[in-house]
Amino acid sequence: MSVKHSLLALLYEKSRHGYELKTGFEEMVQGMWPLNAGQVYTTLDRLERDSLVETPGHDKKDRKLYTITTAGKEELWTWLEDPVGRSLFKDEFYFKFLCANQVSYENRQSMIRNQKETMIKDVLHLTHLKKQMMGSGNETMKLLIEGALLHLEADIKWLDMIADS
Amino acid sequence: MINVSELKKEYKTGKETVPVLKGVDFSVKEGEFVCIIGPSGSGKTTLLHLLGGLDTPSSGSIQLDGTDITSKSEKMRTLIRRKDIGLIFQNYQLLPTLTIYENIVFPLHADGKKAPSGKVEELLEAVDLAGYEKRFPNELSGGQQQRVAIARALIHEPSILLADEPTGNLDRQRSSDILDLLATFHQERKQTIVMVTHDMFAAGYADRIVLFKDGVIEAEVTREDEDYAKFLSRFMA
Amino acid sequence: MLSSFRVSWRNITRHKKRFLFTLIAIVLGVSVMTGMLIAKSTFANIMDEQERIAAGNADFRIQGTKAFFSSNELEGLLDQDQVKEGLATLTKQGLADIETDSPEQATVKFTGLSDFQNGMIELPVKEGDVTEEGLIITENAAALWGKEVGDLVSFQNMGSLKITAIVNEGGILNSPKTMEAAQFRDFEAIVPLDILQEWSGMNRQITEYRFQAEEGLDQQALLTDYQNALAGTDLFVQPIVADTKAYNDVEGMYFVFDLIAILSIFISAFIAFNMINTSILERNNEIAIMKSLGYTGRNVIQLIFKEILFLASIGTVLGLGIGVWLGIVVQDVLISAIVTQNITYQVEILMPVIISAAVGIVFPFLAAAMPLYKAGKTPILEAMSGHSREITLANKFNLVRVILGVACTAVGLIDNVWAFLFLFIGLVLLFPLWMKLIQLVTGPMLRVLFGFLGKQAARSLKQFEKRNANTAAMLAIGVSLALFMSAALETLPEGMEKDIRATFGGDIIAEKETAWEDSEIDAIRNMEGIESADAYAEVPNVTWYSPSGELREFSILSFEDSSMFELIEVTDQTSDSPPIYIGDRALAEMGAAVGDVFTFHTPAGETDFFIKGVVQTAHYSGYAGFAEDAIVRESLNWPLNYHVAIDVADEESVPMALAGLRVNYGESIETIDLMELNIEQAKSGLSGMNDLMVGLLILVIAISAIGISNTLFMNTLERTKELGTMRALGFTKSQVRIMIIAEGLLIGITGVIAGTLYGILVIYLNSVSDQAPAFLDFSIPRSSLVIAVAGGIVFTLLASWIPSHSASQISIKEAINYE
């Protein structure tokens, strides 16, 4: 998954130790994706095993420093260049909807309403976030939010559509 | 800042009397960004027009900074409007024969004043249209026109900005620009804003959301409220 | 297809105020036109009728070069087979035996008739029986003398006679209406010829013998026969001609009436054009939708055609009604201003109404031709998406407009009375240009006056440039015409006075029944207070043919020096024919030019004259000829002078001179004419016309002002959204009002300025014109300027009032939602 590649991206920037990688990651996603330390270290182990990173030494506080290898860089480039397709069933709600119809689920309407509510909550959350980030200069994140909002808009429209059908 | 109580408005169409506002109470504090949201025909635009003194209610009162504008004459309401209120409309309403510069300074001129030097340029800078002074409205895109309208609504530093579906004619991307701009003015200049919309994406920018339905306020929610989204989803058809 | 007239009706009344004002404009235009036509044709009818009555049914008259001749002389001359009926008359002065302040007030001019049952003289009977032999007087005389039919009237040194009939004032008999007027005019009465001959001791003497030829005879041959028979005698024959041009100078008035009629219909058609054009432009989108649904250009035109038909028909019907009323009013004013007697007349309505109805219906269609064509051509997609391809087309059109405008203006500078219509067409075409120029001045002016509002107004006007220019052009035409007319009317009395003074020939002109002897002239010269006295001849009833073959008549006056006329044009050429100078109006009627040889029927028979020059004279308002003394004697066979022109030392000497003339020649003096009196009469006749003209011109300005109202209505309607926005942004109602009034004023002032400049140009062109009456000098009287400018501005303000009010009433809410 992309945790692996985000760690590579962080290491491409500079050599870091494990904890630095965790905070770096959280900073990048504006704290919206909490990562536990264990997850960081298992991922790092796997990267080291695949020779994508190496550990040339320790810092002054004797923490293990990780550095990206040439193979790691190549892996990062390949990943960035690889386009992402969109699978119809990647969205879990799509599947839920499919199954609900399969079993003639009688609470189908409330299921849709709850989904919509959640999405609206997401919208409000994201717009608020965007507003808070106003002037922070984190353009990349704003663009991500913008993209998410566009997806949400389409999703909500679709929910309204299936609710009426 | 704004105190509305028992506000009612009826329209007569032929022999029938159609109530549009059936008793509205609400208030806006200084520096607040309030969004009035509701389905079309719910009376939200009428409420905004009444707040702006563009129309008079059938009954009830609207207090603007302690002054009841409903008891004022048409002329007095106009004078209040051109001092204290900035207006933004869905269809921009730029004056086609005026240049961008002249459009922006219009409210000041109406009041017999001149724009302080650099003020228009500063506003144009803020709405990201620096250098557009000499252009005419028809040379601009919809989003650009609305940004000019925002500059125009703010030139006289109104205590309150009333926006009626400011993003209604714009696509999502341009809407975002406009809303970002309003949010910036709200945050940086503590501009009081009341915005009428049926766009929940716009609503997300507000501190407080007033849910409007069939001429009455159904609910008021702030971001902190738990059932905030539940309410909204019910209103968003 | 939506063939229903109801759809058209709904369309046309969609904007009620605009419809109403356009309708008013058409109504006014049609009614002014109808009124003018009625006044003109009724008046012309009266003139014709008067001429006909004056001429009677007779074909020829025989007169002598001496005042009287014996009826014996006619014996053997007249072939009984040729003469159907004859009538001998004697004209003689007398005094009624009534109490008056001065003897002049009692003077009576008798006409003795040999036959009271003749078919040649038609008298408008009021009371009594005109076929019964006795005294016939007019109603004025009866009223002033306090007599009725059956009463006996006595005349000094003559006798008395019973009144057998009282007639209305008219072509044959005319009496003064008041005793003041009687001071200078004779009462006129008809008596039996034998009684008059007996009273005056003039046995068998007559003044004139008129007769009717048997039907079927060649009158031209007859005339020649009699001319030959009378050659070398004191008698001469003339055909009887109905021509009162010598006494009525009405062409100028007709011209003005035509002008006002044309202008008013032109202006109202323009207002209709503005409305139709706008309504088509507004419905561009609608028309496009119709076409997309299968309407052809033809269908669209038909739809709009019906709308115009509604507008034109309603406007014309209403306009005709008001026009008839207006015509009768104008006619009354005219009669009382020009014709001093109260005469009965028939108002001529049918033809004017038919003409006005036709014009009233057709003109709006002409005005709509261009917009209609455009409507048919409306492109579907562009119109529906709101794009317009007007711009390139408009530029092309503008260039054509300017070129046409320059061409028309050039034509307008040609010296011809009708040419300046082109000047005005040029004005309309070039107006957008003038508008831009003038607004360089008025723009800043209004900005100073109204500040930001004025600036805003100037800007708004640019939006509907063409329409505003057209509207201002209409006002300009009204104003320039008002200026010109009022300047003409202002300078006319002065010019006429100058004219009369220059060409009257003396302070007093006295006409005697018998010729002035040289000794008498000398005696007059020696009378106290008299500077000079010169006898001259006036050869009456000289006849000739106009280019259309109609018989015309005028008098030829003799002169020694040219104190009775001023030369306009003279030729150096000479000819074998004797030279003659012709008055300007007569020359125009003759259709001849200086240097031509022209044939007249004179006391000397058919005679050719060489037109040496054209002159301008107060005598018969230029409807006369002048020949040197010797030529009058020889070529015209007119040896005697019945007139004397007398100059007095100063004005105070006039009464003394008059008294002297009365004492010495009172019995035989026929008329005494005073220059001062002539001037006074000319002026008072004009002042009656003045009020009428000013009234009509104000009407023309009023019609163009309606155009301003209408234009402002359209401008504000199209800017509803904009005005609503301005109100929303903090414009007060009064600011909107002022702004609209400022717009109206901009249009109005532009019109007034252009109108004033064009008015001055027209005045100038007139003053240098050979065609226009020479007494129009180049002067711009201040009062005329005030009337034109103030009238224009006041009407503009009035016209802006209602639109400004309704603009200020625009509901902000609705305006904002207005698409």
Q: Do residue C383 and residue C402 come from a single domain?
A: no
pLDDT of residue C337: 66
Q: A47 with A54: CB under 8 angstroms?
A: no
Say yes or no: ipTM exceeds 0.85: no
**How far apart are the C-alpha atoms of C300 and C376, rounded to whole Å?**
6
Contact between chains at B152 and C729 (C-beta distance less than 8 A): yes
Q: Do residue C31 and residue C96 come from a single domain?
A: no
Q: Do residue C364 and residue C407 come from a single domain?
A: no
By the CB < 8 Å criterion, does A162 face chain B? Answer: no
Classify residue A82 by its DSSP letter. Answer: S
Q: What is the pLDDT of residues A63-110, one digit of tens each?
A: 888 899 999 999 999 999 988 888 877 888 888 888 988 888 888 888
pLDDT of residue C338: 62
Q: Which residues of A touch B188 (CB under 8 A)?
A: 135
Q: C–A contact (≥3 CB pairs within 8 Å)?
A: no
At position C422, the amino acid (one-letter code) is F
By the CB < 8 Å criterion, does B137 face chain C? Answer: no
What's B167's domain CATH number? 3.40.50.300
| Multiple choice CATH, A2-81, 3.90.1570.10, 3.90.45.10, 1.10.10.10, 1.10.10.60 | 1.10.10.10
Q: B154 with B120: CB under 8 angstroms?
A: no
C305 assigned to some structural domain: yes
A139-164 vs A108-132: helix crossing angle, rounded to 10: 160
By the CB < 8 Å criterion, does A149 face chain B? Answer: yes
Contact between chains at A149 and B203 (C-beta distance less than 8 A): no
Q: Do residue C225 and residue C304 come from a single domain?
A: no
pLDDT of residue C294: 63
Q: C477 with C431: CB under 8 angstroms?
A: no
Classify residue C621 by its DSSP letter. Answer: G
Please tell me the total count of domains within chain C: 4
**How far apart are the C-alpha atoms of B156 and A86, rounded to whole Å?**
50
Rg, chain B, Cα only = 18
pLDDT of residue C27: 92
CA distance C428 to chain B (A): 25
Domain final residue pick, C187, C222, C239 = C239
Q: Which residues of C touch B109 (CB under 8 A)?
A: 452
Mean pLDDT score, B133-138: 88
CA distance B231 to chain A (A): 8
Q: Which residues of B touch A131 (CB under 8 A)?
A: 180, 183, 187, 204-205
C428 assigned to some structural domain: yes
Q: What is the pLDDT of residues C427-479, one digit of tens each?
A: 888 888 888 888 888 888 888 888 888 888 888 887 788 888 888 888 888 88
**How far apart are the C-alpha atoms of B33 and C347, rounded to whole Å?**
80
Q: B85 with B52: CB under 8 angstroms?
A: yes
B201, B232, B237 member nearest A153 (Cβ): B201
All residues at 6 or more sequence positions from C188 whose CB lies less than 8 Å from its CB, including other chains? C108, C109, C111, C137, C138, C141, C173, C174, C175
Mean pLDDT score, B20-35: 92
Given a cut of 90, whether residue B151 has pLDDT beyond it is yes
Q: Please give the torsion angle defined by the CA atoms of residues C439, C442, C443 and C447, in that order, rounded to the nearest 10 degrees.
A: 180
CA distance C729 to chain B (A): 6
Domain final residue pick, C185, C205, C239 = C239
By the CB < 8 Å criterion, does A9 face chain B? Answer: no
Q: Do residue C469 and residue C533 come from a single domain?
A: no
By the CB < 8 Å criterion, does A118 face chain B? Answer: yes
B78, B89, B91 member nearest C730 (Cβ): B78
As given in the structure block, the two tokens for residue C421 are 């219509």
Q: Which domain holds residue B12?
A: 2-235
Q: Which residue of chain B has the CA closest to A154?
A: B172
Q: Which residues of A touch B180 (CB under 8 A)?
A: 130-131, 134
Give the CA diameter of chain C: 104
Q: How many helices (H) and strands (E) does chain C have?
A: 24, 23
pLDDT of residue B33: 92
CA distance B166 to chain C (A): 13
Contact between chains at B172 and A149 (C-beta distance less than 8 A): yes
Mean pLDDT, contiguous 10-residue spans, chain C (819 residues): 63 82 89 89 81 76 84 76 83 84 83 83 83 89 88 87 87 81 84 89 87 81 82 82 71 76 83 83 75 70 84 91 89 70 71 89 84 74 54 61 87 74 84 85 82 81 82 86 78 78 84 84 84 86 86 87 82 88 88 89 86 87 88 84 86 82 78 82 73 77 85 86 86 88 88 89 78 62 79 89 88 70
Q: Which residues of B touch C813 (CB under 8 A)?
A: 49, 54-55
* Band of residue B136 on the pLDDT scale cut at 50, 70, 90: confident
Residues 19-78 of B with CB under 8 A from C: 49, 52, 54-55, 74-75, 78
Q: Do residue C381 and residue C450 come from a single domain?
A: no
- Domain positions in chain A: 2-81, 92-164
Domain final residue pick, C339, C370, C388 = C388
Please tell me the total count of domains within chain B: 1
Contact between chains at C730 and B93 (C-beta distance less than 8 A): no
Q: Which domain holds residue C690?
A: 398-502+684-819
Q: Could you tell me which chains touch chain A, where touching means 3 or more CB pairs under 8 A?
A: B
Contact between chains at C730 and B89 (C-beta distance less than 8 A): no
